[in-house]
Amino acid sequence: MQPGNVMIALTALLIGLAFGFVLQRGRYCMNTAFRDVIFINDLTLFRAYIFALIIAMIGANFLEDMHWLGGDAYGPFTLARQVFAPVANIVGGYIFGLGIVLAGGCGSGVLYRVGEGLTSAVVAVLGFGLGIITTTKGVLRPVYEFLRSYKVTMTAPDGSTIYGISLPDLFGGGHLAKWIIIAVFTVVAGIFVIKGKPFEKSAAKGYKWSITGALIGILVVVAWWASGVYGGMPRGISFTGPLSEAFLAVIQRNSGSGYPMFDFFGLKITWSAIYILMVPLGAFLSSRALKEFKLKVPTAAELMTVFGGSLMMGFGAATAGG
Task: Tell me the three-class secondary structure of 11-71, residue by residue.
Answer: HHHHHHHHHHHHHHHHCCCHHHHHHHHHHCCCCHHHHHHHHHHHHHHHHHHHHHHCCCCCE
Helix (H) or strand (E) holding 154: strand 154-155
Q: Give the C-alpha distances (Å, rounded to integers) separating 65 from 72, 84, 175.
A: 16, 23, 8
pLDDT digits (tens, 9 = 90+) for 9-64: 899 999 999 999 999 999 998 888 888 888 888 888 999 999 999 999 999 999 99
Nearest one of 229, 299, 291 to 260, comparing CA atoms: 229
pLDDT score recorded for residue 29: 85
Helix (H) or strand (E) holding 172: none
pLDDT score recorded for residue 32: 84
pLDDT score recorded for residue 4: 58
3-state percent breakdown (helix, strand, coil) of the chain, nearest 5:
65, 5, 30
pLDDT score recorded for residue 307: 96
pLDDT digits (tens, 9 = 90+) for 135-155: 999 999 999 999 999 999 888
pLDDT score recorded for residue 211: 94
pLDDT score recorded for residue 31: 82
Strand 154-155 and strand 267-269: the pairing is: unpaired
In the predicted model, residues of the chain with pLDDT beneath 50 are: 1, 3
pLDDT score recorded for residue 160: 84
Q: What is the dihedral of CA 71, 21, 255, 251, to 10 degrees?
A: 170
Which DSSP category does 205 fall into?
Answer: S
134, 316 contact by CB (below 8 A): no
pTM, two decimals, is 0.92
pLDDT score recorded for residue 261: 84
pLDDT score recorded for residue 206: 84
274, 12 contact by CB (below 8 A): yes
3-state secondary structure of 97: helix
94, 222 contact by CB (below 8 A): no
Angle at 30 between CA 297 and CA 145, to 5 degrees: 95
In whole angstroms, give the CA distance from residue 181 to residue 172: 12
Query: Cβ-count burial of 227 within 10 angstroms (0-12 exposed, 13-18 middle, 19+ buried)?
Result: buried
The distance of Cα 295 from the centroid of its chain, to the nearest Å, equals 26
